[in-house]
Amino acid sequence: MVGITDHMIGTPDLEAEVLGDDVEIDFFASTDEASFSPERLARLDALMVWGARLGAKSIAHLNRCRGVVRYGVGYEKIDLDALAKAGIPFANNPDYGTEEVADHALAMILSLHRRLWEHDARARAYRSGWQVHSLKPLSRSNKATVGVVGVGRIGTAVINRLKPFGFRILGYDPGQPPGHEKAIGYERIDRLDALFEQADIVTLHCPANGETRGLLGKDGLARLKPGAIIVNTARGELIEDFDALEASLRSGHLAAAAIDTLVTEPPGDHALLTAWRNREDWLAGRLVITPHNAFYSDHAAVEMRLNAAKTVKILLDEGRLRNRITDRS
């Protein structure tokens, strides 16, 4: 029996098709971990998780579970230590949505670099003149530098999309082997501070872990080149200090920010979010927030479900868990 906590779209028909008629599915249809009964958990041979948390109390009841598979890439809501202690392997689902996240990041980069949203916001009030209202400064793409933090699948896809525009591209990723930059086509930077000092635009494509949480907090933002733009389609925990983000935007040290993922979703109350919601003039077009849907397209949503189900099928049929995660940092 395979349990499915929840997912975005309807009933788990696609999963059932992949898993086959000999596999029974228990669809919890809830993101509330507290609603998962011990009896139902205890019957599962595998568990698939989308938006729900999975903590030690639930894991303690997964007595016969051979593996837990997350539909998405991130696994901040999964207690990997508890799974490891229970001897239950865990896998994520990295091979979907790469194109969508890269496209989303590129759209944010180009739109903020060209100040499109700010032009749109301010043009509504123009009653005299028109072209004279061009916003400055506004550089050519081939005169600007983009710093890519994390040059894995998505970071690489972003670099490949950036190259035709002529941007100078810096990449920071200690996990990539020497020569990776030559194969992909970017300038390797070994110190994050050096990237911050040079980049006009910083785009984040790294996981949230002990080294990266709060990466662009007060200190990180202060180290950015004055007038920089930041884009985050990775993890909300990388930019979790709204006080620092507001101060940097208000001072002008940070020109603009585009964020797809937040620590709390939907976001709560904060002065910066109030200004964003109210379209306050000082912030016009300078803060863009999308509802954690950079990964989404109709095609990616299907791909996500099919790939996760295939991972479970391989586990049940062959005893092998692909995309297994062992790093609990």
Give pTM, 2 decimals: 0.89
Q: How far is Cα 234 from Cα 202, in angstroms, rounded to an integer? A: 12
Judge whether 142 lies within some domain.
yes
Whether residue 174 has a cis bond before it, omega within 30° of 0 = no
Which string of DSSP letters, residue by residue, matches 247-262? HHHHHTSEEEEEES--
Could you say which residues of the chain have pLDDT below 70?
A: 327-329
Which residue among the candidates 40, 114, 223, 292 is catalytic per the annotation?
A: 292
Which residue among the candidates 235, 237, 240, 303 is catalytic per the annotation?
A: 235
Count structural domains, the chain: 2
144 and 18 within one domain: no
Put the strands of the sheet holding 2-4 in their side by side order: 25-27, 2-4, 46-49, 68-70, 90-91
Q: How far is Cα 6 from Cα 35, in angstroms, rounded to an integer? A: 12
Tell me what pLDDT residue 174 has: 95
Residue 292: active-site member: yes
180 and 45 within one domain: no
Residue 17: active-site member: no
Judge whether 326 lies within some domain.
no
Per-residue pLDDT tens over the stretch 82-141: 999 999 999 999 888 899 999 999 999 999 999 999 999 999 999 988 989 999 999 999
- The residue segments making up the domain with residue 69 are 2-96+297-318
Residue 265: active-site member: yes
Q: How far is Cα 234 from Cα 171, in angstroms, rounded to an integer? A: 15
Which residue among the candidates 265, 277, 279, 328 is catalytic per the annotation?
A: 265
Tell me what pLDDT residue 328 has: 57
Compute how many other C-beta atoms are within 10 angstroms of the C-beta atom of residue 318: 9
In this structure, what token pair is assigned to residue 324?
A: 């297994």
Judge whether 128 lies within some domain.
yes
314 and 280 within one domain: no
Residue labelled with tokens 């002529």: 166
Tell me what pLDDT residue 327 has: 67
